[in-house]
């Protein structure tokens, strides 16, 4: 609908004239979706830039190329390695991952998806609304998550990228 009514083209033209930086952030996209996004950006003459370019721009006033876009990923999902990395290599581009190091270096799970999956095993005050875990002090949250982990540690499937996978991606 947005494409048919011309909204995408108008937004693209406005952005192109603005001199601003477009930052696209993803979490855990599939390979097909991410590949289509990259192809669309290239076809529409966006210039994919890297963290170093952004730092130089803000720190030293280095100019950005025309239509700059910075690709970022939150958390460090396993799919970033399995689905995104092949596209990055094939397209010869880079992206930035803002990784949750605790999950990557320890259990391999993200506490918020873990709490959601096993909500019925959380302490009673979180069973009806595990979003309350976002609002409590870290020590209380850690205690609840650690207790939950002890109950189900043999049932966990890794959802975070590994340290070795992250290293491999960073060296490309």
- DSSP-based three-state secondary structure for 95: coil
pTM, rounded to two decimals = 0.85
pLDDT at residue 20, rounded to an integer: 81
Q: Is the dihedral of CA 32, 21, 96, 24 positive or negative?
A: negative
3 has a pLDDT exceeding 70: no
- Nearest Cα to Cα of residue 54 among 35, 74, 72, 75: 72
The pair phi, psi for residue 82, each rounded to 5°, is: -70, -35
- Residue 117 pLDDT: 93
HSE-CB for 148 with a 13 A CA cutoff? 28
> What's the rounded mean pLDDT across residues 62-87?
96
**Range in 47-56, 75-84, 149-158 the model is least confident about:** 149-158
């Amino acid at each position: 609908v947005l494409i048919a009514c011309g909204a995408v083209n108008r937004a693209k033209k406005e952005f192109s004239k603005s001199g601003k930086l477009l930052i696209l952030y993803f979490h855990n996209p599939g390979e097909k979706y991410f590949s289509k996004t990259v192809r669309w950006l290239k076809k529409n003459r966006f210039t994919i830039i890297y963290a170093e370019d952004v730092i130089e721009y803000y720190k030293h006033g280095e100019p950005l190329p025309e239509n700059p876009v910075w690709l970022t990923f939150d958390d460090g999902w396993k799919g970033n390695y399995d689905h995104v990395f092949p596209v990055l290599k094939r397209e010869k581009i880079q992206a930035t991952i803002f990784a949750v190091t605790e999950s990557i270096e320890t259990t391999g799970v993200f506490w918020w998806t873990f709490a959601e999956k096993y909500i019925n095993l959380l302490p009673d005050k979180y069973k009806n609304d595990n979003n309350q875990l976002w609002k409590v002090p870290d020590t209380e949250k850690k205690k609840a998550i650690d207790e939950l982990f002890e109950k189900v540690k043999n049932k966990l499937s890794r959802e975070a990228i590994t340290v070795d996978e992250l290293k491999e991606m960073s060296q490309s």
